[in-house]
Amino acid sequence: MKVLIATEKPFAKEALEAIKKEIVDGGHSVEVLEKYTEKSELLSAVAQANAVIIRSDIVDKEVLDAAKELKIVVRAGAGYDNVDIQSAKEHQVVVENTPGQNANAVAELVFGLLVYAVRNFYNGKSGSELKGKKLGLLAYGNVSRNVSRIAKGFGMDVYAYDAYCTAEQIESDGVKAVSSPSALFEQCDVVSLHIPATPETTKSINYELVNKLPKGGILVNTARKEVINEEELLKLMAERQDIKFITDIKPSADEQFAQFEGRYFSTPKKMGAQTSEANTNAGIAAAKQINAFFNEGCTKYQVNK
Ligand code: 3PG
């Protein structure tokens, strides 16, 4: 079978070599399309492919229409909002993700951003410490579990809310479960977002919710920009001089947020999962899943059943 690795944002070199080897060892051939700038490049590359490994690359109806031989798309990562899973189903293409494989990298970046924020973006003025602060995790999946593990090392008090987890599941990790997103924002000094981008979560982080943060509250986003109601957050940050917003996903209104000097920071390009380890873990998992799909008919990680 022909496996295409199509990544606009490439895997680390060593990860790519390991992924290619895994595919070849599974009895398949590999093509690589990296750093492409035009959709047309992806459309011609997918034409012959039986399987595709992607990252945040957009796989929509047009791509699926062009991929006449395609049987499976594996998103090397967690969030698959970049794939039109309904259209894939209509094209009889299996879509999978690789949950948890890049979670530690994203979790570590949360702390990179947080230390930077509480130390006033390293401007030399006296900042504060994470120890003793209350950290709220909105959604309690793989990234949150890693954030919670690291937060305990910092001496933070960890709280979480997840619509799909019971309080018992959350508390069995030594994390305090709260009953709603509002309660999380009300009780925590820092709220870290780990919700996927879905029709329900889009723009759900709004004025009313973020305004519940106590004085000096910090909002951290390493999830998706779509979950933030940017217009309302801009309004709130203009009204409340104490709130900080730090993000790994540049908002559409980046220039407007940048006016809040010392209270806003965005990485130049989403880099939560940009480590050699995360690339290797997620990429090899994707390759193994493709081998298991073609060689054993396994669809364990299918998200469009
Ligand atoms: C994910 O959903 O796995 C992360 O957002 C990482 O995305 P990336 O592979 O585009 O860096």
Does the predicted model carry a pTM greater than 0.90? Answer: yes
Measured over the CA atoms of residue 45, residue 225, residue 86 and residue 144, the dihedral's sign is positive
Question: How far apart are the CA of 91 and the centre of ligand 1, in A?
Answer: 24
Question: How far apart are the CA of 96 and the centre of ligand 1, in A?
Answer: 14
- pLDDT tens digits, 130-182: 999 999 999 999 999 999 999 999 999 999 999 999 999 999 999 999 999 99
- 117 Cβ partners below 8 Å, 6+ apart? 218, 220, 244, 246, 265
For 4, 20, 217, 242, the CA distances from 49, given in Å and listed in that order, are 6, 15, 48, 52
Could you report the predicted ipTM of this complex, rounded to two decimals? Answer: 0.98
Q: Is the CB of 75 under 6 A from ligand 1?
A: no
Residue with tokens 């295409």: 4
Pocket test for ligand 1, best of 34, 55, 95, 281 (most atoms within 8 A of CB): 55
Q: Is the CB of 103 under 6 A from ligand 1?
A: no
For the CA of 222, the closest atom of ligand 1 is: 5
Residue with tokens 């759900």: 204
- pLDDT tens digits, 181-198: 999 999 999 999 999 999
Q: Is the CB of 279 under 6 A from ligand 1?
A: no
For the CA of 224, the closest atom of ligand 1 is: 5
